[in-house]
Amino acid sequence: MPKEVIMPALGMAQETGTLLRWLKREGDAVEKGEPLMEIATDKVDVEIEAPASGVLTNVTAAEGEEIPVGRAIALILAPGEDLTPSPPSRLGEGSGVRASASPVAARMAAEYNIDLAQITPVGGRIQKEDVLAFLAQQENSTQSRTDRARVLASPKARRLAQEAGIDLASLAGSGPEGAILAADVTAARKAEETADGRPQTAEEVPMSRLWQVMAERLTQSWTTVPHFYLSREVDAGQLIAWRKQLQSRGGGNVTFTDLLVKLTAVALKRHPRLNASWQNGRIIANAAINIGLAVAVEDGLLVPVIHHSDQLGLFDLAAHRADLVGRTQNGKLSTADLQGGTFTISNLGMYGVDHFNAIVNPPQAAILAVGRIADRVVPVDGQPGVRPMLTLTLSCDHRVVDGARGAQFLSTLAELIENPLRTLD
């Protein structure tokens, strides 16, 4: 019996997934467990393995399509298994029966406003070649249809060309089989403006899917979460000394971020309300301490999670953090790496930032913004002195944390930073 290929759910709140690309084509032989397709959720891009061995067929989802979770998008036939195609006579012109079509054929038919029921496929399913053959048959009917059949272009390219008054037939397409893409029309428009000496008009900056998701989530957080902020300057002298001592032991490269993750985990253990979440109008106490790190990537921001941060030794934590950040920047994260966070740290000290306010990452209760360590003149035993100071800013969701609880947590963290060797468990 054929095995269905479905759009999987990779997260509890996931409702849809975007099919980025098929790694196998229809008609290809596949082995159970080998990569079959690449999909994108709102957090990460992942490869999905074939659920069975056989031949991939009945592909109904196109690359780039957003698909509801649980929907079947293809079938895998076992060796020797076959599907009985619909009788060709029922798929001819005027039959009124819509034939099954490949994604490419369906897109072409939609672009040229062709009813698939008018096309008689060579095989049991309408392919791109069937659509092209149908267009060729209509060549003598109207000149406009001939022009459309000759010039392959994406719908967006056609719209942009019409708005700019550009003849698509005059452009060389950079897409598959010479198809004209939106970028080709944009480049042609810029070339015309430059040649005419006209100033270039403002244009929309393309956004990645990751950036769109980030924008939507941060907007939702900013407009629905009642934020408040607590800041504190901390003497980082002992933190610097602690790091030097660890590095001298040759256990690996321990960063200030690693030390802060460890100390924050200790502080969260003492103040569990800061490790709680706001979910469906309730405060949920999280059993595990899973600290997320805000990491900037080319297309936006990701927050990989160091699970059970309080249970890791420093050198293990540092190695895990380095691996996570590396895979984040190389696009190699798994969905598990991004799930389960209970608290977030955002460190911009390496960019020379002194202090900033971060936006809470729902459903978490708080996020810690960390600035750079810089020498400042501060009171030392009643006299002015220069000390390496660090500014911490805690952003809290007031539905979960009040000012007193936030202040107590920040005070504990400050004490741990200023006396790490004496107070760390």
Fold of the domain built from segment(s) 88-196: Dihydrolipoamide Transferase (4.10.320)
The reported pLDDT for the residue numbered 251 is 63
pTM of structure: 0.62
Q: Which residue has the higher pLDDT, 388 or 197?
A: 388
Confidence of residue 129 (pLDDT cuts 50, 70, 90): confident
Beta strands 343-347 and 291-293, pairing class:
parallel
DSSP lists the bridge partners of residue 296 as 301
Confidence of residue 90 (pLDDT cuts 50, 70, 90): very low
CATH architecture of 210-423: 2-Layer Sandwich (3.30)
**pLDDT beyond 80 at 82:** no
**pLDDT beyond 70 at 124:** no
Q: Can you tell me the distance from the alpha carbon of 320 to that of 336, in angstroms, rounded to the nearest whole number?
A: 14
Question: Does the fold of domain 210-423 match that of domain 88-196?
Answer: no
**pLDDT beyond 50 at 342:** yes
The reported pLDDT for the residue numbered 42 is 64
The reported pLDDT for the residue numbered 270 is 96
The total number of residues shown for the chain amounts to: 425
Q: What is the residue extent of each domain of the chain?
A: 3-77, 88-196, 210-423
Q: Can you tell me the distance from the alpha carbon of 151 to that of 345, in angstroms, rounded to the nearest whole number?
A: 52
**pLDDT beyond 70 at 425:** no
Of 51-55, 93-97, 249-253, 258-262, which range is least confident?
Answer: 93-97
**pLDDT beyond 70 at 417:** yes
Active site residues: 398, 402
Torsion of the alpha carbons at 183, 187, 189 and 191, rounded to the nearest 10? 180
**pLDDT beyond 70 at 150:** no
Of 157-161, 252-256, 279-283, 312-316, which range is least confident?
Answer: 157-161
Of 30-34, 273-277, 308-312, which range is least confident?
Answer: 30-34
For residues 198-218, give the mean pLDDT. 78
Q: Which CATH class is domain 3-77?
A: mainly beta
Confidence of residue 134 (pLDDT cuts 50, 70, 90): confident
For residues 341-349, give the mean pLDDT. 96
Q: Which residue has the higher pLDDT, 176 or 154?
A: 154
For residues 131-156, give the mean pLDDT. 61
144 neighbors 122 (Cβ within 8 angstroms): no
Of 141-145, 273-277, 351-355, 391-395, which range is least confident?
Answer: 141-145
Q: Which residue has the higher pLDDT, 113 or 182?
A: 182
**DSSP code string of 299-349:** TEEE--EETTGGGS-HHHHHHHHHHHHHHHHTT---GGGGS---EEEEE-G
Confidence of residue 358 (pLDDT cuts 50, 70, 90): very high
